[in-house]
Amino acid sequence: MENRPTVVDLFCGAGGLSEGFRQAGYQVLLGSDIDPTFGETFTRSHHGARFLARPIQSLSSAEILTQTGLVRGELDVLVGGPPCQGYSVYNHGRGEHDPRAGLFREYLRIVRDLAPKWLVMENVTGLLSISGGQLIKTICSEISGLGYAVEWRVLRAEDYGVPQERRRVV
């Protein structure tokens, strides 16, 4: 394995979040997404990375460790953005009752099992207003309960050279 910090990307899609880490010098080892059509783009964009096409509920940490050659506690950064549809203000039926809104717990299951040094989770700003702000408090509390310090903020893509207005909770 190369001597660069390592990244695994859950809910990776075509790999946009991990692409930022790649550009910053990280080695992207693996991505996983429910939609197998993203796999070709992900692996072509992240040379040497593996892609696992399956729902996160059926993804095991043991498989991630086997596929990456890492041991528990060795991964530098676990990144991921659970599906935004459960949080988006454009989904008028959004809320904690939407099954997608609870997928962050599957991400945290993987965090617990892999024990990465860092984790980065991102999503739409609609996440902040669900249940009067209680959902973001729950997510932060559960991350803290795993032994991580939590800091979040809203980032504006245009502040980083992206030619569009896009807000994300990171």
Residues noted as catalytic? 84
Secondary structure letter of residue 53 according to DSSP: E
Which residues lie across from 50 on neighbouring strands? 30
Give CA–CA dist 130/89, Å, rounded: 9
**Cα-atom radius of gyration of the chain, to the nearest Å?**
16
| Cβ–Cβ < 8 Å for 56, 105 | no
Q: Which amino acid, residue 69?
A: G
> Quick one: which of 146, 141, 166 has its CA closest to 155?
166
> Quick one: which of 21, 30, 99 has its CA closest to 12?
30
Phi, psi of 131 (to 5 degrees): 55, 40
